[in-house]
Amino acid sequence: MKSTWKAAVAMATAATLLTACAGETGSGPNEKVTLTYANWSEDQTPAMEQIAAEFQKANPNITVKVQTLPWTEYWSTLQVGAAGGTAPDAFWMLADHFREYAKGGQLLDLSDTGLDMSVYPKAVTDAYTYEGKTFALPKDFDTNGIWYNKALFDAAKVPYPDDTWTWQDAQDAAEKLTDKAKGVWGIAAPIDPQGGYYNTILQAGGQIIKADGTASDFASPASVAGLKFWTDLQAAGSSPTLKQLSDTEAVSMFENQKVAMYFSGAYWAFRFHNSPALKGKVDVAPLPQGVKRATVTSGIGNAGYAGTKHPEELKKFLAFLGGTKAAEIQAATGTVLPAYQGTQQPWLDAMPEFKLQVFIDAIEYGVPLPIAGNTAEWQGLAAEHLAPAWDGKKPVQEAAQEYQAAVDKVLAKQ
């Protein structure tokens, strides 16, 4: 009980600190206003500060303070702040958390900003629309590809992945690339929905959530096939175990050159680009094909707190975040793939060593990240129910049925 109380106090304190500088003055035409803008990425903070500075040049009466929290604290702090009236004015939002905040009336309605929403990928704008209203403006978008280590491929004399690869090609390559004596695995196979099994379920012709949003489809033959792609990699010893991936994140294992392939999103490009250890060693290719090509697509949205003291100034800032200038800054710095149509080329140019066009081309076969009911809740149950299949302790079909039942129970509450 004491530790729970301490955690609650810590979160409340963090929330207070996050918004301590939020404008306390009025917002008359000549009065100074301070807005806070929260994110979870130290890598992106410099670009966010540059964007805030550009906004302030045109709006000298509005100061924007960019504040960064670690991912491990971000959502708990935002939850406490939104419930207690101390949330930051502007903040990053993810699609799988969005509906709970929108349903709770904690997000500022941005439907009247006058922005042309057709300039963003529809999959991202749809993810931040609730009951016909827009509650977040797309900041960036992501699809998935195969990040791979060319040096490890060369050492094992395995051809690089390309757009002809099938699941079997990926699995065969992973086996050849694995060298336990050197502590190297061919691929990382964590229980990862967005970068992993969502994509293979879709590639197998399955679906994650049924069209009406009232039930999941994890136990269908196609979905089980999509899950089995990953459990087979674990069974073959081509991936670190779940325990090893728990001790060290898959992306860190890739950076440490302990795994040769990592299926994941465009958002890692900037981090890999800035890694001296990976210089000249990394590239990206399209995801392998199953029955068809598919990748989930999503993106961060810039949202505003409904309880802000300065709604008009906040809407102005959010509109700026959703505009071309902010997108161009993100692209030119290489920070992330911007969502605004026509602003992606500088992102490609910023990191020419990678075949980043892969991620833009993938939008043609992209499928929106599945959102239904309390997505964060049912998605959070995946490790509990799927881990036995990944560890080889339970048949994939059985684990999938148990996970489907758990997800459907959550969906029934909506």
Question: Rg of the Cα trace of the chain?
Answer: 22
- Cβ contacts of 331 within 8 Å, gap of 6 or more: 337, 338, 343, 344, 345, 346, 347, 350
Q: Are 33 and 27 within 8 A, CB to CB?
A: yes
Amino acid 348 reads L
Tokens (6 digits) for 187 = 């691929």
Number of H helices, E strands in the chain: 19, 13
Q: State pLDDT tens for residues 249-304.
A: 999 999 999 999 999 999 999 999 999 999 999 999 999 999 999 999 999 999 99
Q: State pLDDT tens for residues 5-50.
A: 333 334 444 444 444 444 444 455 568 999 999 999 999 999 999 9
- Cβ contacts of 390 within 8 Å, gap of 6 or more: 189, 191, 230, 231, 234, 242
- pLDDT of 23 reads 40
Is the pLDDT score of 204 beyond 50?
yes
Q: State pLDDT tens for residues 303-332.
A: 999 999 999 999 999 999 999 999 999 999
- Which residues lie across from 296 on neighbouring strands? 367
Average pLDDT across the chain, whole number: 92
B/e letters for 331-364, b = 16+ CB within 10 Å, e = fewer, are bbbbbbbbbbeebbebbbebeeebebebbbebbe
